[in-house]
Chains A and B, each alone.
Chain A
Amino acid sequence: MANPYIPLQMKVQRIETEDPDRTLRTYDLTFLNESEKEAFRYLPGQFCEISILGKGESPFGIASSPTEPDYLRFTVNRTGSVTNDIHYLRNGDIVGMRGPLGNWYPVEDMKGMNVLIVGGGFAFTTLRSLLIYLLDSRDDYMDITVIYGARNPDLFIYKDEIATWKQRDDIQFHVTIDKLVDGWTEKTGFVPTVTQEVAPSPDNTMAIVCGPPIMIKYTLPVLTELGFPDERIYTSLERRMKCGIGKCGRCNIGSKYICIDGPVFSMAELKKIPETV
């Protein structure tokens, strides 16, 4: 039996700063040996625990897609002690990684369906994973619509990729910021409002929502109003987490643990849980 508490060693291969304040950084990690790389199979929506030995561990959604086999990508907001130390990492440094953990977005069920992706802020990580995954088998899916919001233009992550996605004619990509700033020509307004405006059709459509709790809370009712049934709205949740394997008793919402029963839940599942978003 493999010990699920032992992190694998991974090497920092590339670091990208995402915003002018340097609070958001993206890390590409590579496996030290080929067999560990081969054994690591995941799907969009899963997460890993990243360790800085001596400091601790924190969970991060995987931002790379399984169709990008050369590295695992994570985007880290500098906010606590572990993420602070992650921000001090340099190319070539070694970090610990446990994963993949949790469940994933229903990519199999989405085949032959339209997909609506709604994201906010730096939670776009697993949504990037999902989008790349869908685009890499584009013919399996129908229309893809993305609504991505951030407080201001600086706080979008993966800005270069957004520019290329916006140019593709096989995705409808909407970006929005909370308040208008000089030079901004895209949409303005909070994600729930913009979702109302864009009004994606619920017909044969799967909706995936991931963002800050407040965004999720106000976006879910909009989707319901647009006619999305609970079984076709999925969201990814977060809680403070330690073990990531359903033992330490910390990340529950109701009788479910985010780490093993989630992080991806359908609206239908969430409605059965008393303690919600």
Chain B
Amino acid sequence: MNMVRLDKQKLNDFIRELSAEYSVYAPGKTNGKTEFIPVESSDEIDFNSHVTDMFPKGIFFPPAEVLFEYDEDGVREAQTSHRPIAVWGMRSCDARSLVMLDRVFGSAIQMPDNKNFQDPYWKEKYDNSLIFGIACNEPLSTCFCNWLGGGPHNRDGMDVFVVDAGDVYLMEPLSDKGIEIINSSSCLTNATGKDEALAVKLASDAESMMTAPLDTGGLGEKLTAIYDEPIWSEISAKCVNCGACTFSCPTCHCFDVQDEGKGKKGKRVRIWDSCMFPIFTMEASGHNPRALSSERVRQRIMHKYSYYPENYGENLCTGCGRCVMVCPVNLDIREVLKRIIAYKEQVI
């Protein structure tokens, strides 16, 4: 389907239309930080946010999520019927991250006894969602999506692709759900040939602003080859294992499970966790397979660029650059990747 245009003045009406069926989320400001918040009108949207401080992952995989409640009578499944979720203004990197997470939570892991373990909490929210991406016309200096198969105007994981073209949004529906919502809206008009040409120009301008991509092909094999090399203690030397990179990462999916309550009444909750913490793998016996900081940093890098791609054929990183922004000791993942690729050439 061709592009349609939404006059920015009509965004509020469009959000209202969406609200009839969906809970709508969009970038907003909380305590000075940008994150995705539930909105009812366009006034609440923060249009200056680029890559939001917090990614939209938490909408579908909340920082703390109740799995079930329990009391003397047993276990009660947590309420899992929400209104479907629509997200306005999701950057390409974040939309892609949800596709990556969906392989872990949503895809059927087939066990040899034919059981498959899908995550009902994730599926209920993500499968029914409607995602409006927003193209990046001015990538940040920390952006490196183009190293990892993405790009500022990448459309993966979106139901509707949206380009900010000055006074109007140009919208391209990508999925059946996207086409349906576009067809049913009264706020849209057909885009002109000029509009479409502008969208193409904005895309190529944005791409030219990106740093030259690093060739990450074969990175997984390279990482396996240097698994036992001393490079890991060099890379991790300044890491303080604070976990900021993992908590700011839209693709990190590790969680802990905790029971919260008193006596026989309470909830079982899953909570975001981090492989940077020693307790993550600490066993009751006291044995810890990843006792050293270098082993934990290696795990994070290996998971993203070797293990996950081995299982799913794509790196578990979108190049959003948040870990680069938040690291208190400037441990820049891009430098790490460059170093790993260069190091391998010295060794082998």
- Residues of chain A at the chain B interface (Cβ within 8 Å): 1, 3-7, 9, 41-43, 53-58, 79-80, 83, 94, 96, 100, 102-104, 213, 238-240, 242-243, 245-250, 252-255, 260, 274-275
Contact = CB atoms under 8 A, between A and B. Distances in A.
Contacts of A4: 117-120
A100 to B, nearest CB: 7
Contact of B254 (A238, A249, A253, A254): A249
Given A83-B284, A246-B104, A248-B273, 20 more contacts: A1-B118, A4-B118, A5-B120, A7-B75, A9-B74, A41-B113, A53-B268, A54-B263, A56-B258, A79-B285, A242-B255, A242-B256, A245-B117, A247-B255, A248-B270, A252-B299, A255-B306, A255-B311, A260-B111, A260-B117
B74 A274 contact: no
A57 B257 contact: yes
Interface in B214-268: 224, 227-228, 252-259, 261-264, 266, 268
B280 interface: yes
Contacts, number: 118
B282 interface: yes
10 contacts: A3-B120, A5-B68, A5-B120, A54-B262, A239-B281, A247-B119, A248-B253, A248-B257, A249-B104, A260-B117
A58 B283 CA distance: 11
B202 interface: no
B113 A6 contact: no
Interface string B148-165: 000000000000000000
B105 A247 contact: yes
Main secondary structure of the interface of B (DSSP, over half): mixed
Contacts of B283: 238-240
A103 B75 contact: no
7 nearest A-B residue pairs (beta carbon): A80-B284, A249-B254, A245-B117, A255-B307, A274-B227, A255-B310, A79-B284
A249 B112 contact: no
A53 B259 contact: yes
B113 A246 contact: no
Interface of B: 67-68, 70, 74-75, 77, 104-105, 109, 111-113, 117-120, 123, 224, 227-228, 252-259, 261-264, 266, 268, 270, 273, 275, 280-285, 287, 289, 299, 302-303, 306-308, 310-311
Contacts of A253: 289
A224 B227 CA distance: 24
A242 B123 CA distance: 20
A248 B75 contact: no
Contact of B266 (A53, A104, A239, A245): A53
Contacts of B289: 239, 253, 275
Contacts of B70: 53-54
A247 B311 contact: no
A128 to B, nearest CB: 20
A250 B281 contact: yes
Contacts of A250: 254, 273, 280-281
Main secondary structure of the interface of A (DSSP, over half): loop
Given A41-B113, A247-B105, A54 B266 contact: yes
Contacts of A104: 112
A247 B117 contact: yes
Contacts of B308: 255
Given A6-B68, A274-B227, A240 B255 contact: no
B117 A100 contact: no
A42 B113 CA distance: 8
A214 to B, nearest CB: 10
Given A54-B264, A213-B287, A248-B257, A254 B307 contact: yes
Contacts of B261: 54
Contacts of B77: 3, 6
A41 B114 CA distance: 11
A207 B182 CA distance: 62
Contacts of B280: 240, 250
Contact of B281 (A7, A96, A240): A240
A94 B285 CA distance: 26
**Which residue of B275, B284, B311 has the most chain A CB atoms within 10 A of its CB atom?**
B284
A83 B284 CA distance: 9
Contacts of B270: 243, 248
Nearest to B309: A255
B253 A247 contact: yes
A44 B104 CA distance: 27
A248 B302 CA distance: 16
**Which residue of A4, A238, A247 has the most chain B CB atoms within 10 A of its CB atom?**
A247
Contacts of B109: 245-246, 260
A41 B115 CA distance: 11
Contacts of A247: 104-105, 117, 119, 253, 255
B264 A248 contact: no
A238 B77 CA distance: 29
A145 B311 CA distance: 37
A249 B251 CA distance: 12
Contacts of B266: 53-54
Nearest to A57: B257
Contacts of B262: 54
Contacts of B284: 58, 79-80, 83
Contacts of B307: 252, 254-255
B257 A56 contact: yes
B259 A249 contact: no
A242 B257 CA distance: 6
Contacts of B287: 213
